[in-house]
Homo-oligomer: A and B are copies of this chain.
């Protein structure tokens, strides 16, 4: 079966920006950030990646080269007069929660995605957490999607829920964190919340739970639970979710496969890649990540969840 699989590129439309981050382990200023950076560096371990995003003319060449040194195609990158999108945040004792200190949209405020002609044929599409109306603009440009995976965020859930629901109706897989699922569905229980989103049309909902791993709720495949990699020292959690998405979509695109079995494996790949991202600030760990390391960590995930069966009789 594997020999028959055709590797496809993955398309991401999302933010590209400069981050200023403080954690208990250190701080960095104006480093490479944004969903598209983490996603594309992660997915490039598996397949070619096409990026549609916007930067200002202050975006460092050095960061462009970080991306171009991998299998990342930047022809969809728009350069506008003005400053690049910036985000500043900090993490305290509980590294699960980022406190946003500052967000400057800058050129991102004027962004409308324009896909180069050949990107419109791309079959594996990731809609990062941009405004849902921009997500719809992307869907109106792609001609041949085999798998549309979408993310969103608390701000759009509260301010643009109807438009966001329109995107969900057209997506194959909805990728959200646990808080976003609870907020969108107004349901405390994640399984019930996931099923409510399935009712809108998607085949599957993948719920990212940070240190608690990820949960798949699937129309055809029931529930699947993936652990997070057990890490004693998380340096910087920024980008973990976007890296998960990159490993997830990148793996599926590399296999040209959207079967339930492939989706389960893709979640493990997403978890594996995300576990590297948080080991260092910004995209530093992804820059030096090797295929051998990815494979090794994937194998570790099997050991994490395996329990050998003996006979099942009880009450002996």
Instruction: List chain B residues, Cβ under 8 A from A305.
Output: 224-226, 305
User: How many interface residues does A have (CB within 8 Å)?
Assistant: 60
Interface contact B299-A46, CB-CB below 8 Å: no
User: Are A2 and B299 interface neighbours, CB within 8 A?
Assistant: no
B314 and A254 form a contact (CB under 8 A): yes
Which of A148-156, A162-170, A229-237 is near enough to bind chain B?
A229-237
Copies in the complex: 2
CB-CB < 8 A to A192: which residues of B?
232-233
Given A188-B93, A232-B192, A234-B189; A264-B315 close (CB under 8 Å): no
Which A residues between 85 and 110 are near B, CB-CB below 8 angstroms? Answer: 93-95
Question: In the complex, which residue of chain B has the Cβ closest to the Cβ of A192?
Answer: B232
A222 — which chain B residues lie within 8 A by C-beta?
303
- Complex Cα distance, B233 from A224, in Å, reads 18
Cβ-defined partner of A230 (8 Å) among B95, B209, B225, B267: B225
Residue ranges of A at the interface with B (Cβ–Cβ < 8 Å): 1-2, 7, 45-47, 93-95, 188-192, 195, 209, 211-213, 215, 217, 222-227, 230-234, 251, 254, 261, 264-265, 267-269, 291, 294-295, 298-299, 302-316
* Between-chain CB contacts (< 8 Å), 18 pairs: A93-B188, A95-B188, A95-B189, A189-B232, A212-B212, A212-B213, A213-B225, A223-B230, A225-B227, A225-B305, A254-B316, A261-B308, A264-B307, A264-B308, A265-B307, A265-B310, A269-B314, A302-B309
